[in-house]
């Protein structure tokens, strides 16, 4: 209690608890809720004031929306009694009060969001090793540092001999250095007691027990130093099991070269020099891959690159996303060097090459590019490769016999028939035989050393053509036409068959989804219509093959008039379609897909 003249200030220590208890009752009974959050299809009705008071994410979101709407109201008043809204481009970016009342939180799990909301309304959070990772992810997305602090405290208190490996992995994923150090103490103690055969087995294990190749090296050094007299002769054999090319060049110099036996032992010295030489030639690494430079994993994952979201501004995405099969959700992996849609991606020795596309939507192709970039998932890094000789969007690209091929497409000059070949060894582009006709929005696939191109648009007309290119003879041949004209579709090769899926065609001035799935037999040069049509119309989806299934991600449905954020999967063996759980960050058309092997830990995407 404080006194100033005749005034007295009295503090009630129970008020904050009473207030929080009252807010919790309102939340439980869903009274006066003014915003709905959706995560993985589950809805949570909440109060904006509570969310904004605890989360910087919501505070910024609601504040920006409030200011924009006030500006919009004032602008309308300035225009007179007619109330005609401004037609400036900025007005299209305003978030309406209605839209801000319903938020879809991409990347947030429903379990993690529920536990975070429990904390906001009660000051208590129920954590377990099964849920703490999801809570950490949500707290980072929503910027609730108190939750992160409580989660770290929980993990530090839980570390034991039985769970230190699991906690070490969680700590590595979320950049919790203190927790990682505490957990690693148990790991190091265990490792020092291993014999040589057990140490070799640990180094060969998939996934590796620690988050980086440098950590494996340092653990090996500790094991050798623990009993130097009897163990040091094992150093060459242990070092051969390490993949030094996975260690960044600066760390090779600072942390590996500084170890005495890496400089004195001839075998170890050569391993180090080979890795350093590998890093000196980044533009040729995709031609020099060996076991020593490959990621320690045998699990392939779906990758989604770029794409065009809905909206009047139509600025393409710059996100690279991957599908987490364990969590059944799409996650953001990294950011591209530029926004892009209607481009191509090609996987070469687990590098992802991004080619062409357009950085703004334009029906005449005036924003087409000739960029070529290469993504390295080991170091989350991009480099620029020599550009194509022509700008291209809505084209096809593939890799065959150490060459990339880019075929057709469109740019500001119109439809293209040109074909370029990129030599991966020499980093040079050259023209090869052109398509017989200019084409864009076609699909392609590689089969038995040849490239097949189906459908597309030729000077404004949808076609059912099929062409085959022989790169050895450098000639094109016309094959049996498809049964249906289609463009903006996909062509996928599996088990000696090619599958034409999705796309659309014109009937008069109307676009119609192509629902029929066609199967082509290259030996018989014959198309057959399959009994199982596609689940729903898809034009311009990303497409790739994984685990004997064909995956289609995103795309546009003309019958629904909607961009898609879901993933559908076709099994040729079963002849069935299924839909994957989880949606991409936003609905997209014109993305590209590939498969890739990612490191066991991805601390850079958090």
Provide the 3-class DSSP secondary structure of residue 378: coil
| pLDDT tens figures, 139-173 | 999 999 999 999 999 999 998 867 888 898 888 88
The pLDDT, as a whole number, for residue 79 is 41
Residue 301 has pLDDT above 60, yes or no: yes
- Buried/exposed code over 301-336 (b: 16+ C-beta within 10 A; e: otherwise): bbbbbbbbbeeeeeebbbbbbbbebeeebbbbbbeb
List where CATH 1.25.40.420 sits in the chain.
153-293
In the predicted model, what is the mean pLDDT of the chain? Answer: 90
Can you name the residues that pair with 415 across neighbouring β-strands? 410
Give 227's pLDDT tier (boundaries 50, 70, 90).
very high
For residue 267, name the pLDDT band (cuts at 50, 70, 90): very high
* pLDDT band for position 5 (cuts 50, 70, 90): low
CB 501 within 8 A of CB 479: no
Render the burial of 165-185: b for 16+ CB within 10 Å, e for the rest.
bbbbbbbbbbebeebbebbbe
CATH superfamily entry for domain 15-78+93-152: Potassium Channel Kv1.1; Chain A (3.30.710.10)
| Percent of the chain clearing pLDDT 70 (strictly above) | 92
Query: Burial of 399 by CB count in 10 Å (0-12 exposed, 13-18 middle, 19+ buried)?
Result: middle
> In sequence order, which residues have a C-beta less than 8 Å from that of residue 66 and are 6 or more positions away?
none
What pLDDT is recorded for position 284? 93
Give tens-digit pLDDT for 533-586.
Answer: 999 999 999 999 999 999 999 999 999 999 999 999 999 999 999 999 999 989
Question: Among all chains, which residue has been given the structure tokens 């993990």?
Answer: 155
Nearest Cα to 381, choosing from 330, 335, 348?
A: 335
Architecture of domain 153-293: Alpha Horseshoe (1.25)
pLDDT band at 121 (very low <50, low <70, confident <90, very high): very high
CA torsion, ordered 209, 210, 213, 218, to nearest 10 deg = -100
- Reported as a single tens digit per residue, the pLDDT across 435-491 is 999 999 999 999 999 999 999 999 899 999 999 999 999 999 999 999 999 999 999
pLDDT at position 384, please? 97
Q: What is the C-alpha R_g of the chain?
A: 28
Sign of the CA dihedral running 392, 397, 403, 408? negative
H helical segments located in 296-340: none
Q: What is the tens place of the pLDDT at every residue in 9-40?
A: 788 889 999 999 999 999 999 999 999 999 88
Distances (CA, A) of 558 to 304, 387, 510: 22, 34, 9
- C-alpha distances in Å from residue 290, one per residue of 212, 235, 244, 256, 272: 18, 21, 11, 20, 15
* Encoded tokens for 60: 């910024």
Indicate if the pLDDT at residue 77 is higher than 50: no
Residue pair 403/416 in contact (Cβ under 8 Å)? The answer is no
Is residue 82's pLDDT more than 90? Answer: no
pLDDT in tens, 326-371: 888 899 999 999 999 999 999 999 999 999 999 998 888 899 999 9
- pTM exceeds cut of 0.85: no
Average pLDDT over residues 378-388: 96
What digits encode the pLDDT tens for the residues 240-265? Answer: 999 999 999 999 999 999 999 999 99
Residue 95: what pLDDT? Answer: 35
CATH 2.120.10.80: which residues of the chain? 300-605
CATH class, 300-605 region: mainly beta
> Where in the chain are all domains bearing CATH 3.30.710.10?
15-78+93-152
- C-alpha distances out from residue 518 to 311, 522, 573, Å: 32, 13, 15
Q: Are 156 and 179 in contact (CB under 8 A)?
A: yes
SS3 564: strand
Antiparallel, parallel or unpaired: β 351-355 and 344-348? antiparallel
CA angle, 207 then 210 then 212, to 5°:
95
């Amino acid at each position: 209690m404080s006194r100033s003249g005749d005034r007295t200030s009295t503090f009630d220590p129970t008020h904050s608890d009473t207030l929080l208890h009252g807010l919790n009752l309102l939340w439980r009974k869903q009274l006066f809720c003014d915003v709905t959050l959706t995560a993985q299809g589950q809805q949570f009705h909440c109060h904006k004031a509570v969310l904004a008071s605890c989360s910087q994410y919501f505070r910024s979101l609601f504040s920006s929306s409030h200011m924009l709407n006030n500006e919009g109201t004032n602008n309308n008043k300035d225009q007179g009694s007619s109330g005609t809204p401004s037609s400036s481009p900025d007005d299209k970016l305003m978030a309406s009060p209605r839209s801000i009342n319903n938020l879809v939180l991409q990347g947030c799990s429903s379990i993690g969001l529920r536990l975070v909301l429990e904390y906001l309304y009660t000051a208590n959070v129920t954590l377990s090793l099964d849920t703490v990772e999801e809570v950490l992810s949500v707290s980072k997305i929503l910027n609730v540092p108190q939750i992160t602090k409580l989660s770290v405290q929980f993990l530090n208190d839980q570390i034991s001999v039985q769970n230190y490996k699991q906690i070490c992995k969680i700590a590595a994923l979320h950049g919790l250095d203190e927790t990682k150090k505490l957990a690693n103490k148990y790991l190091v103690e265990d490792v020092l007691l291993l014999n040589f055969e057990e140490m070799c087995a640990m180094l060969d294990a998939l996934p590796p027990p620690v988050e980086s190749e440098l950590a494996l090296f340092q653990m090996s050094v500790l094991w050798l130093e623990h009993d130097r007299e009897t163990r040091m002769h094992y150093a060459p054999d242990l070092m051969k099991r390490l993949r030094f090319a996975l260690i960044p060049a600066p760390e090779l110099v600072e942390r590996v070269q500084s170890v005495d036996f890496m400089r004195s032992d001839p075998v170890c010295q050569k391993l180090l020099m080979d890795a350093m030489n590998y890093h000196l030639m980044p533009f040729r690494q995709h031609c020099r891959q060996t076991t020593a430079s490959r990621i320690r994993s045998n699990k392939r994952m779906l990758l989604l690159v770029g794409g065009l979201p809905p909206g009047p501004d139509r600025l393409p995405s710059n996100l690279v996303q991957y599908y987490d099969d364990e969590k059944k959700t799409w996650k953001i992996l990294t950011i591209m060097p530029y926004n892009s849609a209607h481009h191509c991606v090609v996987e070469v020795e687990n590098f992802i090459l991004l080619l062409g596309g357009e950085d703004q939507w334009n029906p005449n192709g005036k924003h087409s590019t000739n960029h070529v970039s290469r993504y390295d998932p080991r170091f989350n890094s991009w480099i620029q490769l020599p550009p194509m000789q022509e700008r291209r969007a809505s084209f096809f690209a593939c890799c065959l016999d150490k060459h990339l091929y880019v075929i057709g497409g469109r740019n500001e000059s119109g439809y293209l028939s040109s074909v370029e070949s990129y030599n991966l060894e020499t980093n040079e582009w050259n023209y090869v035989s052109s398509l017989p006709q200019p084409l864009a929005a076609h699909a392609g696939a590689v089969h038995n050393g040849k490239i097949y191109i189906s459908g597309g648009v030729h000077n404004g007309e949808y076609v059912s053509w099929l062409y085959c290119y022989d790169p050895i003879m450098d000639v094109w041949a016309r094959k049996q036409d498809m049964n249906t004209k289609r463009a903006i579709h996909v062509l996928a090769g599996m088990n000696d068959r090619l599958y034409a899926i999705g796309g659309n065609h014109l009937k008069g001035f109307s676009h119609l989804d192509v629902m029929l799935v066609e199967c082509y037999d290259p030996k018989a040069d014959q198309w057959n219509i399959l009994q199982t049509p596609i689940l729903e119309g898809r034009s311009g989806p990303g497409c790739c093959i994984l685990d004997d299934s064909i995956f289609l991600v995103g795309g546009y449905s003309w019958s629904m008039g909607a961009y898609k954020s879901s993933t559908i999967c076709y099994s040729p063996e079963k002849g069935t379609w299924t839909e994957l759980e989880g949606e991409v960050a936003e609905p997209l058309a014109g993305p590209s897909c590939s498969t890739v092997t990612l490191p066991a830990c991805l601390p850079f995407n958090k």
